[in-house]
Amino acid sequence: MGEDQVLSNGRLEKQNIVESKEFINFLSAFTALSELDKKVFIKANLAIKNNQTDRKEFELFFVELLDINKKTKSIDYLHKIGFKNASSYYSERNKLFNISIPKLTEQLGNKFPFLKNQNILEFLEDSDAFNERKIGYQACFDAAWNTFWANWWNEGQTYAQVVFQQTISWCGTEYL
């Protein structure tokens, strides 16, 4: 098989992955999470500027979002920064991040086991949607879910989620 044929097969396989319902659902879940969190980041950045909170407290809030025992504390923090519908946000985010995304991660990894050792962002690089995401907050967020993917398979769910939370809290205060 010639080099051109190998390259063509690689592109076709990449296209099949990107167009699969598993990949689309995985990416859609992280996009929904990004949009959900972006609203909190905007409020938090404003609260930081107005000295109602600081970055350290905000980063702690994001890590504590993973702990169901800190639900009240998390909702109180959201109220502190002026976020309306704090309970709704907490419930929606918890469902997405702790139920949907783990399930979708497993489905994608089971459908394409070789992806477990891949930089998953490489599968988006040729798409128009990805080219629009290469700057600022969205690029930082994409790097975070790419790290989540790698850590999920190498270190486990808890570690992947903690690192993701720490990274996006930084993304949200640096880029918005």
Q: Per the domain annotation, does 8 fall within a domain? A: no
pLDDT value of residue 3: 44
pLDDT in tens, 93-109: 999 999 999 999 999 99
Q: Is residue 12 part of a domain?
A: no
Asked whether residue 7 is assigned to any structural domain, the reply reads no
Structural domain contains residue 162:
yes
pLDDT tens per residue, range 155-170: 999 999 998 988 888 8
For the chain, how many structural domains are there in total? 1
Would residue 41 count as lying in a domain?
A: yes
Query: Does 3 map to a domain?
Result: no
Residue-wise pLDDT for 9-50, tens only, equals 567 777 888 889 999 999 899 989 999 999 999 999 999 999
pLDDT tens digits for range 123-149: 666 555 555 555 677 778 888 888 899
Give the structural domain span for 99.
21-175
Give the integer Cα–Cα distance in Å for 92 and 158: 19
Question: Is this structure's pTM higher than 0.85?
Answer: no
14 within some domain: no
Residue 159, in any domain of the structure: yes
Instruction: Report how far residue 137's alpha carbon sits from residue 114's, in angstroms, rounded to the nearest whole number.
Output: 29
